[in-house]
Every structure is written in structure tokens, then in C-alpha cells.
Chains A and B, each alone.
Chain A
Amino acid sequence: MCQCCAEKKDIYLPQLATVADISQMNVTEKYLRLSMDDGMFDFLPGQFVEVSIAGIGEAPITISSSPTQTDGFELVVRKIGNVSGAIHNLQRGSKLGIRGPLGQGIYPVEEAKGQNVVFICGGIGMVPQRSFINYVLHHRSDYGDVAILQGTKSYDLRLFTKEIEAWSQRGDVQMLETLDEGHPSWKGPVGVVTKLVRKVETDLKSAKILVCGPPVMYKFVLMALEEFEVPHNNIFLNLERRMKCGVGKCGHCQINNAYVCMDGPVFRYSDLASLPEAI
């Protein structure tokens, strides 16, 4: 091998990690806590990893835990394809491959300091947002008002119910939750997440607004925020695509000239004006 390449690490080579904890969250989602076998793992809220199941393949999954959590990191995976199906079959102690953390477009950890922060989550959009939510709550005094809006399709699909309950109990977080479909056990509001926007007690215009959910949700949330004249540079959208290689080469996640794996996955809305394929 030539010297120039021998010194470089293989960008496609996963490092081994061990499943420290795994549990079923609801009918489709599984929770995993992983620890890297070599112990090394520093990331920022919004970054993702490529998860390898040898023989099945790789899939990009955004980290759900906050970097302030020190005992490994957490993923939440919906069973939807080959790799995610195989992840669901893992057990405590299972080995898997991890590449990352990846992505340079992260949540505005520093920029949002001293400012109000509003999280708008649709369904499993809560999963990546939770990394920054817990980061903000860990450094609570660094940030202004915090509001968390969660919309879920149905009662059975709710995620992190204990955590959401704990956030609701805190006096320094406005937690709002809605379900698309009503349920006998559900006492809260029924309707889509955009309906919660007007209930936010914080001044939306001056807040940093973080949005993550299914593709269809973004347009409606942005329309709702438009009513409150929220400046576009204060809105951050988490855009997931098919980040196959995760390192800006394979082309699958390209949105016009942006690579989600490199420039995202979190994008500032004002930067998306030149990317008509984004939303």
C-alpha cells in the first residue's frame, strides 16, 4: 500500500459497539443503548451514526441521547426495512458496527444559548430532538424559555412517555402533547401538532425553533410559523434522507447541491431557500 493511503483511516470501516441495553418501546420502535468497544465517542446533538449489521447492511440513525449522558449513547429504531429489522433482533451483549458520529449540520447548541427554545416534534421526530432537549435541560440555566410540542398519530405509538411526564412536571418547561386520533385513555388534546403552535406561551418570533417529523409535516409547521412571522434564520429543520455512505460520496442524500450527510442533517430554514428539493 502506498504511504499516503496507509496513513489514512478507511472512512467505510465500522468500529465495534456492544448493545448495553435494548427494549421494545411500542409495536414498531426499539430502544438501544450502545457502548463503543474502544470507549471513544464524542458527538453533538443532531449528529447521526451509520449502524452496521454484518451481512445485512448499514443504515443511518440519528443519536437520541444527549452528549451529557456518559454511559454510552442511545438510538431508537423503527422496524421498517432489512437493517432496522435486524437491529430489532439484537439482544443485550450483541455486537454491531458503528461509523460516526457523522454530519456537520447540528442543532444550534451555542447559538441558542440565552434564547427561548421551542421543539416541534411529529411522531418519531421526537427521537433526534430528544438529544438536544436533554442537552438544553442539562444546561437549563444557559437557555431561556423551553417549550416542547409533540404530536403522535395514536395513543399506542407514543414514545418516551415517562420522560415526557417528567418534563411536564418541571416548572421550567412547557410540555404540550397531542394525538392525531383520540383514545379512551387519552385526556389531552386531539389534532395535529401544528394546532399546538398557538398555545406556546413563549414569544415565537424571538425563539429558536427546532422541527423534526415526517416529510409531510414540515410544510404545515412552516405555514403555522409564518403566521407568527418567525424569521427563517431562527427555524431549524432536521431533514433525513438516504445517507448511504454518510461521508459525502455516494450521492443518495443529495438535495440539489447540499449533502444531508455532510451539510446536515439539521438545516437552517433560511439556508434552504436555494434548495427547492428540500421540502
Chain B
Amino acid sequence: MSVKKISKTDFASFVEALVQTENVLGVQAKGDRFDFAPLESAQDLRLDYDVTLQPPKKFFLPPQEVLLTFEVGGAYQSRRDDQKFILLGVHPYDVVAIRQMDELFRQDNYDTHYMTRRNHATIIACDVARPSEHVFASSMGTAVVQEGYDILLTDIGDSYLMDAATPKGRDLLAKAKGTVEADAQALARREAVWARNRKALNKHELKCDPAYLPRLLAKAYKHPVWEERAKTCFSCGSCNQVCPTCYCFNVQDDVNWDLQTGERTRAWDGCLLDGFTKCAPDHEFRKARADRFRHRLYRKAAYMPQKIGGQIACVGCGRCVGACLPDIANPVSVYNRLIDDLGIG
């Protein structure tokens, strides 16, 4: 597998040509922050971004999507979204999150709605150029990735390195003009970027190896930290909404104006929201705020790892830290507090 080098001017031409023919969703400025949005010009692309407001999960699991259409009293029809698209500028930690989501939607019962979108996507990842305010990907081992993308971009100053990892990526890369084989010096500069990011994406430092977290939580279920933190929790679900590995959803029917046809839609839900576990008639199985708060962090570091081969379902993007108004969501500060009190081992 060869790595190509492309000048920034030639890369801009490549992107400019791409947006003419493909549906490209690239990172762009949104006020003084950044987000993925349909890209119309290479000029709008901001690969120097720190973190996007929303993770790219919304392109695979939209905030609201039609699963089925139906006729009242009649049959149901599947709806599938099979438009091809390119995600341009996905950071390594988000690549890891997408890989985890892929596994969860693929395993046991194959979710055709998610997987159709996923199979139609081409992911162009890019190494982080500058750390965001709350990133802790270095602590979670997600600052650099070796798989999960079709092409990986690395900014090495005057040019980008383009590393195609899949047939889809190689086909796309073949369209870029002006690429040359990356020489040893260029590859060394990429190594330097990786070495830097493995350490620098660490605004909050976890005091243990992430692989230890399931064992830490196994002895922390009744720790007072859940109650202490949850005291100021608004139960707003912002932490769920911005999380690249939160995927809980609700399903609802809507009838059209003709009163004959309608749609069944699914929409994001969140385990922090009151009523998430409510059953008929009035049983709510995880009602206490502290229990809901605890559930989110247990899901990330104790429950989901059992489904995805031991990986921790927190990739250290830091979005929840920034989104939480009472500033209680930071997983690192909770886990570190538990380590301080309970020790390691």
C-alpha cells in the first residue's frame, strides 16, 4: 500500500472537482466553531478544525428518519436511503466511534437503515491539526487510527499525505492530479504528527489505561460520585446528543393529512432524559437522576465494551464536556475521582 503526497494547491483542485460530481459533506466553519455540512467549494473546507459541534453519526443515524411507510389498516413498506456521499475531514476519534457503531448496528440484528447509509459512505479521515479545548483522545488511545477510513489525510506543512486503505479509497485517490509517491522524509513528518497527537490530544488526562475502566466500574456502582454529580444535572440529554457513540432512539408513527397513509420515524433519544425507561402504566425503571447519570458512564465503559470486543465506547472527543452546562459530564474527571478513591488494581 503506497502513500501519496499532494501539494495543498493540487488538493484544493481535487476537492473542487469532487464537489462538482459527488455529494461531499465536509468540515466548515459555523460561527466561531465547526461542523460537517454539504460542501460547495474547496475554499469552505477547514481541515485545520479542532472539533465539530456534532459528530458525524448524524449522517448514518439521522436525528430523525423514516423507517417505514404504511397505509392505515394495510401493509408496511421499508424506506431506505441509498444516496452515496463522501465524509471529508473525519478526525481519528470519530473514525473509531463510527467503527464501533458499525459493529453495534451490524451484530445480532442487522440494521439495514443504518448499514445502507454506511455502505454508501466514503470516509476521508484527517489527522488532528490542533487539539480542541476538551479533547482527551490521547488518553483513550484514539488520537491516531490505522483503520476504519477509506483515505487518511495528514497535513505535513506544505502538502498533504493521502493514504488509501480500501478499494473505494484507492479509486477516489486515483482521481487526484499531481500526486507523487511519499518519500521517506514525508513519511517521517507524518510519524511526527502522529507522535505529537498521541500525546497532545489530552486536555483531560485519564489516570489509568482505558482497558482498566470496566474493572474500575465493577467496584464503583455504589460510589457517592453518581449522586454528587447528578445533584446538578438538568437531565437535558446534551451529553447524549453530542456523543459519537450514543445511539438510543425512539420510534413514532405519524399519519399524513389524507388520514390513509403515514410514516414510522425513529428519532434520537437519550438515557439521561426523564421518562426514558417509562412503561405502562406508570412504572419508570431508572427514574432517579443519579441512576440515569451512572447508566451513561457504565454504558460507555462497562456495558458496551462487552459488545465490541472490549473497546471503551468513549473515544475522548470531549464534546460532552463542552456541552454540559453544569459541567458534570466529563468522563475523565469521574473516572479519575473513582481511581483516587478506589485505587487501581
Cross-chain contact A241 with B70 (CB below 8 angstroms):
no
Cross-chain contact B108 with A5 (CB below 8 angstroms):
no
Given contacts A16-B75, A54-B74, A54-B253, contact A2 B119 (CB under 8 A): yes
A-chain residues with CB within 8 Å of residue B40 when the two chains form the complex:
none
Per-residue CB contact flags for chain A residues 246-279 toward chain B (1 = under 8 Å, else 0) read: 0111111111110000100000000000001100
With both beta carbons as reference points, the residue of chain A lying nearest to B278 in the complex is identified as: A242
A-chain residues with CB within 8 Å of residue B248 when the two chains form the complex:
250-252
Cross-chain contact B112 with A5 (CB below 8 angstroms):
yes
B20 at the interface (CB under 8 A from A): no
Cross-chain contact B279 with A242 (CB below 8 angstroms):
yes
Interchain CA distance A5-B277 in the complex, whole Å: 31
A-chain residues with CB within 8 Å of residue B105 when the two chains form the complex:
249
Given contacts A215-B283, A240-B279, A277-B286, contact A5 B249 (CB under 8 A): no
Cross-chain contact A250 with B269 (CB below 8 angstroms):
yes
A-chain residues with CB within 8 Å of residue B285 when the two chains form the complex:
215, 241-242, 255, 277
Cross-chain contact B78 with A10 (CB below 8 angstroms):
yes
Cross-chain contact A248 with B72 (CB below 8 angstroms):
no
Per-residue CB contact flags for chain A residues 1-44 toward chain B (1 = under 8 Å, else 0) read: 11011001111111010000000000000000000000000000
Out of B108, B249, B254, B303, name the residue touching A250 (CB < 8 Å).
B249
Given contacts A4-B119, A5-B115, A250-B251, contact A12 B68 (CB under 8 A): yes
Cross-chain contact A52 with B76 (CB below 8 angstroms):
yes
A105 at the interface (CB under 8 A from B): no
Total B residues in contact with A, Cβ cutoff 8 Å: 55
B80 at the interface (CB under 8 A from A): yes
Per-residue CB contact flags for chain B residues 246-259 toward chain A (1 = under 8 Å, else 0) read: 01111111110000
Interchain CA distance A248-B253 in the complex, whole Å: 20
A95 at the interface (CB under 8 A from B): yes
B67 at the interface (CB under 8 A from A): yes
With both beta carbons as reference points, the residue of chain B lying nearest to A97 in the complex is identified as: B76
B234 at the interface (CB under 8 A from A): no
A-chain residues with CB within 8 Å of residue B278 when the two chains form the complex:
242
Taking CB atoms and an 8 Å cut-off, the chain A residues in 70-94 that contact chain B are 78, 80-81, 84, 94
Cross-chain contact A250 with B250 (CB below 8 angstroms):
yes
A-chain residues with CB within 8 Å of residue B271 when the two chains form the complex:
251, 254
Cross-chain contact A13 with B253 (CB below 8 angstroms):
no
B280 at the interface (CB under 8 A from A): yes
Distance between A247 CB and nearest chain B CB, rounded to angstroms = 4
Total A residues in contact with B, Cβ cutoff 8 Å: 45
Cross-chain contact B113 with A249 (CB below 8 angstroms):
no
Out of B108, B115, B281, name the residue touching A248 (CB < 8 Å).
B108
Interchain CA distance A5-B112 in the complex, whole Å: 6
B109 at the interface (CB under 8 A from A): yes
With both beta carbons as reference points, the residue of chain B lying nearest to A84 in the complex is identified as: B280
Out of A5, A8, A55, A253, name the residue touching B262 (CB < 8 Å).
A55
A137 at the interface (CB under 8 A from B): no
With both beta carbons as reference points, the residue of chain B lying nearest to A59 in the complex is identified as: B280
A195 at the interface (CB under 8 A from B): no
Out of A56, A58, A242, name the residue touching B277 (CB < 8 Å).
A242
Interchain CA distance A214-B109 in the complex, whole Å: 30
With both beta carbons as reference points, the residue of chain B lying nearest to A95 in the complex is identified as: B73
Interchain CA distance A16-B75 in the complex, whole Å: 7
A140 at the interface (CB under 8 A from B): no
List 6 extra interface pairs beyond A8-B115, A251-B269, A252-B269, CB under 8 A. Answer: A4-B115, A13-B76, A57-B252, A252-B277, A256-B298, A257-B303
30 contacts between A and B (CB under 8 A): A4-B119, A5-B80, A5-B119, A10-B112, A11-B111, A12-B78, A12-B113, A54-B70, A54-B74, A55-B70, A57-B264, A58-B251, A215-B285, A248-B108, A249-B105, A251-B247, A251-B248, A251-B249, A251-B276, A252-B276, A254-B271, A254-B295, A254-B299, A256-B303, A257-B306, A262-B108, A276-B221, A277-B285, A277-B286, A277-B291
